[in-house]
């Protein structure tokens, strides 16, 4: 797919930032490119700590909710934690479970069955909580859309605190006036509420739970330092739930990663051992692509109990079987995803319709992986995607979006067509009757407002950095811009007119291309392109010809002349260090392409 390379040009006094903050002007520019606007914001970005988090009491109903939670603990009543089956729900639930116990209370975790019940609290959970003698239901990572369930809980004599981070649903009249649809709970703690005064709106469910616990600990006389025992969970949930790594999320993830690298939690250590992760080297990549998916796989395929068993194991030996189980489940989930993705691509090829919003129907794919498949299709086609599969309830779907399309906002005007729905700007889940698929496809595409330009993928470039500007010091300083993730992406550098001095395929799977390159500065660097060496070679042959490509493979002078997007790194081999670049994208230069 063609894509546009666009250089970010955001202005600030980078030299002044450099002097005041003790960083390079390049690092200052990178921060500005991530929407840091003022010197004070830059200082917070670099050096923000837990002390810089906003007062949690600014969150609507926080004082009321924490007070009710403390009262329930003092009365000795059991507390039902109504969690969810994804990473955010698992760790939000674990945070509340451990905190309530630390505060002297009793709690029990309840989660929905993904296949039979779907997302969020339900009447079965409420009935079980009542039968178990619970006096209070405390939701996490769900509940803001539980209108009927809140009424039912009250009818059963149960009080309810909702902690959530999802968007509030609404109805809208012809003039565009919105009526917010909120459950009748005793306390609604969700920073997305229109009248919530908490300044940072992008916490994940575990982040909201952590803020509630900070108030509970204060009410209970528990030292503030003990909050740090929960930071590993907050960091995993925040990265895995793909919320923006800006503001308070960035502070929480940095602090949580620091704890995770020296964690003493048996379950987390056992999982890192099972997955071959060195704890001292763990970063946001390991959370997003290894640790998080392992926990997620439990909720997707078998229910979350193996995940909680792992977290509650008393030592690494006891935790090891649960860790291995999660790793195996994730391997199974990956295979199911690959099979479903192939079917989805075949479905789209058969339709041959270039819809702006893609709706895909799969008949035999496990519903737990349709969201992952939607995400992969979104990346491939750069347009919003909903993937549906057949279930006893009807067609159950999961959607992933692009920045130009607010997914929940696109669904809300057509809510009457759906049996169930929820989500936010970048993702949504819904259930519809089978006969509603085509009408929904029609109305979503007619009203999406997406233009041809919106559907062209954009690769944003932070700076043009020549090979002679790369140094170990510069690469080390790039680490202060991390941790990387959504809305705080890894820096992308670019240069044009690379000379290729040599290239060859390497690696156990023969899928990495290693090159020796130089640019106009004349400095040579090793370059690596991972995962699709044959694809890159094919592109060279199609673009510059087989003869010139073969010359490069033989280390002979040639006319190859690509542009690369890249990220620099330091390679250490047998005690020697060298600077190399990791190629992220390549193209043939056209005028104004970069």
**1 pLDDT exceeds 70?**
no
Using alpha carbons, list the distances in angstroms from residue 32 to 23, 39, 208, 339, 466: 13, 10, 27, 41, 20
Q: What is the mean pLDDT of the chain?
A: 95
Residue of 197, 198, 208 lying closest to 161 (CA atoms): 208
What DSSP string describes 249-303? Answer: HHHHHHHHHHHHTT---HHHHHHHHHTT--GGG--HHHIIIIIHHHHHHHHHHT-
Average pLDDT, integer, range 565-574: 92
Q: How many CB atoms neighbour CB 158 within 10 A? A: 18
Apex 311 CA angle, 310 and 314, nearest 5: 85
Domains and CATH numbers, the chain: 52-236 (3.90.1640.30), 353-455 (3.10.310.30), 458-588 (2.40.50.460)
**Cα(149)–Cα(119) distance, integer angstroms:** 13
Average pLDDT, integer, range 394-399: 95
- What pTM was estimated for this model as a whole? 0.89
Predicted confidence (pLDDT) per residue in 4-40, tens digit? 899 999 999 999 999 999 999 999 999 999 999 999 9
Predicted confidence (pLDDT) per residue in 255-309, tens digit? 999 999 999 999 999 999 999 999 999 999 999 999 999 999 998 898 999 999 9
**455 pLDDT exceeds 50?**
yes
Sign of torsion over alpha carbons 412, 418, 419, 423: negative
Predicted confidence (pLDDT) per residue in 465-491, tens digit? 999 999 999 999 998 888 999 889 999
Residue of 78, 79, 125, 83 lying closest to 305 (CA atoms): 83
Q: What is the pLDDT of residue 453?
A: 92
pLDDT-based confidence at residue 425 (cuts at 50, 70, 90) = confident
Average pLDDT, integer, range 100-115: 95
**Cα(334)–Cα(357) distance, integer angstroms:** 25
**Cα(532)–Cα(525) distance, integer angstroms:** 20
């Amino acid at each position: 797919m063609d894509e546009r390379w666009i250089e970010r040009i955001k202005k600030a006094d980078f030299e002044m930032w450099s002097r005041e903050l003790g960083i390079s002007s390049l690092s200052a520019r990178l921060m500005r490119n991530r929407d840091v606007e003022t010197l004070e914001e830059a200082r917070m970005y670099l050096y923000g700590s837990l002390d810089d988090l906003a007062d949690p009491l600014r969150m609507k109903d926080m004082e009321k909710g924490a007070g009710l939670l403390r009262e329930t603990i003092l009365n000795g009543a059991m507390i039902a934690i109504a969690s969810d089956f994804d990473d955010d729900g698992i760790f939000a639930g674990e945070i509340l479970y451990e905190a309530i116990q630390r505060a002297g209370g009793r709690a029990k975790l309840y989660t929905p069955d993904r296949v039979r019940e779907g997302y969020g609290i339900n009447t079965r959970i409420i009935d079980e909580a009542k039968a178990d003698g619970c006096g209070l239901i405390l939701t996490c990572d769900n509940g803001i859309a539980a209108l009927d369930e809140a009424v039912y809980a009250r009818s059963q004599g149960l009080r309810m605190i909702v902690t959530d981070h999802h968007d509030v649903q609404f109805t809208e009249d012809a003039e565009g006036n919105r009526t917010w649809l909120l459950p009748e709970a005793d306390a609604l703690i969700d920073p997305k509420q229109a009248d919530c005064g908490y300044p940072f709106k992008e916490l994940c469910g575990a982040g909201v739970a952590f803020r509630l616990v900070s108030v509970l600990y204060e009410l209970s006389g528990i030292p503030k330092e003990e909050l740090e025992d929960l930071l590993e969970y907050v960091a995993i949930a925040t990265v895995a739930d793909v919320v923006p790594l800006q503001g308070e999320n960035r502070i929480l993830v940095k602090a949580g990663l620091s704890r995770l690298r020296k964690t003493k939690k048996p379950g987390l250590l056992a999982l890192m051992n099972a997955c071959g992760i060195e704890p001292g080297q763990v970063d946001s990549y390991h959370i997003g692509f290894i640790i998080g998916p392992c926990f997620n796989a439990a909720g997707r395929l078998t229910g979350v109990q193996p995940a909680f068993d792992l977290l509650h194991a008393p030592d690494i030996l006891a935790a090891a079987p649960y860790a291995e189980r999660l790793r195996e489940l994730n391997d199974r989930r990956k295979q199911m995803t690959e099979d479903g993705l192939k079917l989805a691509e075949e479905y789209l090829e058969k339709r041959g319709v270039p819809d702006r919003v893609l709706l895909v129907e799969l008949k035999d794919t496990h519903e737990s992986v349709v969201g992952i498949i939607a995400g992969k299709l979104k990346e491939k086609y750069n347009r919003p995607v909903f993937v549906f599969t057949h279930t006893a309830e009807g067609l159950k779907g999961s959607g992933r979006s692009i920045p130009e399309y607010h997914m929940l906002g696109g669904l809300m005007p057509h809510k009457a067509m759906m049996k169930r729905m929820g989500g936010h700007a970048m993702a949504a889940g819904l259930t519809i009757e089978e006969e509603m698929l085509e009408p929904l496809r029609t109305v979503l595409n007619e009203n999406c407002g997406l233009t041809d330009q919106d559907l062209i993928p954009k690769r944003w470039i932070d700076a043009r950095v020549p090979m002679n500007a790369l140094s170990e010091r510069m690469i080390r300083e790039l680490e202060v811009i991390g941790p990387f993730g959504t809305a705080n992406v890894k820096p992308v550098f670019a240069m044009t007119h690379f000379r290729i001095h040599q290239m060859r395929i390497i690696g156990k799977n023969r899928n990495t291309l290693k090159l020796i390159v130089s640019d106009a500065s004349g400095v040579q660097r090793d370059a690596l392109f991972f995962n699709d060496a044959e694809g890159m070679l094919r592109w060279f042959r199609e673009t510059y010809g087989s003869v010139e490509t073969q010359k490069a493979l033989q280390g002979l002078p040639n006319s190859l002349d690509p542009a690369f997007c890249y990220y620099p790194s330091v390679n250490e081999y047998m005690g020697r260090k060298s600077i190399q670049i990791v190629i992220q994208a390549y193209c043939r230069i056209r005028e104004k392409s970069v």
